[in-house]
A and B are shown apart, each in its own frame.
Chain A
Amino acid sequence: MSGGPNERDVVVTGIGLVSCVGEGVEAHLAALAGLTEPGPWETERFAPYPVRPGPALDLSTQIPKKSDQRQMEPWQRLGVYAAGAALDSAGIKDDAELKARTHVIVAAGGGERDYDVDGQVLTAMRTHAAPDVLLNERLMSDVRPTLFLAQLSNLLAGNIAIVHGVTGASRTFMGEEQAGVDAIRIAHARIASGQNDVFLVGGSFNAERADSILAYAMGRLAYSGAPAAVADRTAPGFVLGSGGAFLVLEARAHARARGARVFAEIAAVGSARTGRGAGALAETLGRLFDETGTGADARIVSGALGLPSRDAEERSVLAARAPGAAPIVTQDLVGHLMEAHAPAGVALAAGLIATGEAREAAVTSIGHQRGAGLVRLRAG
């Protein structure tokens, strides 16, 4: 363990970001600045629920083997691609020794289903005398055996190990938005404590799948109106987005020793369980501002959802604690990335700091059902 007061500072040395906007943090900052066209909306395929579709990617640049591409479903391809881009960005893609001791925390849900098989089985079950027996027979004969490996939550991390050779060890956190902020929190703590030097942290989400939308549509939480920014919507709900966001986090001393570019320092990560009662979110967020030492000048990258009560409580805290420039709303840029949303917000904040747009930034993470987080970054 290295000495010195700031040797164990945690710095961002790599960013991989893909979304409807395109690829790379620079493209996202350009879109934020209005220099390029905003990312597209997909309003037909899952009507009445619009989503922000993933970008067209040349997968071979990050996932060279076709056999690897075939073994994954889209959520994994987005994630493995973004993870590879983060390793490139950090300049460690070809450093096998370093990748073998780089640890991984992925924030993930589960993977895709075979939608055709599901539909056929549901259709057949409706009229079958013994529907559960039919289910056994059809699943045994119709499901692709390796589909399971595209569904298991920890197999995004598994594919990152296989495709990129990042084999320190991986842990996968689940639990919607909170998984993303807790992944960053635990990686930060492990680096700061001297346990590990380098982490790859992030997640991915595929919005272009009916079963994902279904879960939130059941809760009447998926937005079903015309394309509009969160603040301009006349109906409640979030717009899911397809994307992936990964960060390379590193101890400052380790980054310095290998001459790495530092985008920003992650100064503090706060996360908390929070109830859904009136005022609970505002109380929690206010406390996280205190705990993370976030100042009034921090540029805010907001995890605002499009759920009026949650948004109003967040707005009230931001108005009081960071009254400067209007918050950047990550969902307006890329859609709501669920587990990957906080990592995407941190990627944007680190980009703003690296380009001199901000000296300090704070990323809010608002759980649509539970939990809140705040990540404070500063010029590194």
Chain B
Amino acid sequence: MKFAIIVFPGSNCDHDAYKVIEEIEGAKPEFVWHRDNDLSEYDSIIVPGGFSYGDYLRAGAIAKFSPIMNALVLEANKGKKIIGICNGFQILIESELLPGALINNSGVKFKSKEVALSTENYNTVFTNQIPKDKKMFMPIAHRQGNYLADDHTIKSLQDNEQIAFTYSSEGGGNPNGSCLDIAGIFNSRKNILGMMPHPERAADALLGSDDGSLIFKSMIEGIA
């Protein structure tokens, strides 16, 4: 399975993601520059974390106009698996591939810490390898991770089981004021996942947790 890892000016988790994918049997990562405009040869696409365009204006707001985003939307509509992590999540939100908004953390500060995640839906191409009731530990590092959506959107997320992960008390609970403790969501078709925590930074036991690799393994095992 070929993974594209999109590189924007200011991406800084792209190499972490590359390394994780490289370690998984049967998976092959490749970097794709944001000025490119074709993603058709890849099975899955990672929009990595970082500070694309310096977070100017709003996090993710300018990256959505990169040429690669047209290709990303095209592949998204074909049903390919796309995961946006941290700034990648912000970019997917700004591109309206995922609903709602990510606003400033309720405590103002940039938060860099480990959190625990509860999985809210195990029947997806991103979560099928996660053992039931397991709390996944991985870091967050963001200033705009406070998920917000209007009541109608929240209700449709709930009704359609689009909430992927929530912050759990085992990791200190909700770090940013996110509504319903949301840490990650799917699109309605569930081929796109956006999440603020960093699974690619918790994919090797040497780094304190390898829980994050469960998400990438799910993407490979659970070919929809």
Q: Do A and B bind each other?
A: no
A interface vs B, CB < 8 Å?
none
Residue ranges of B at the interface with A (Cβ–Cβ < 8 Å): none
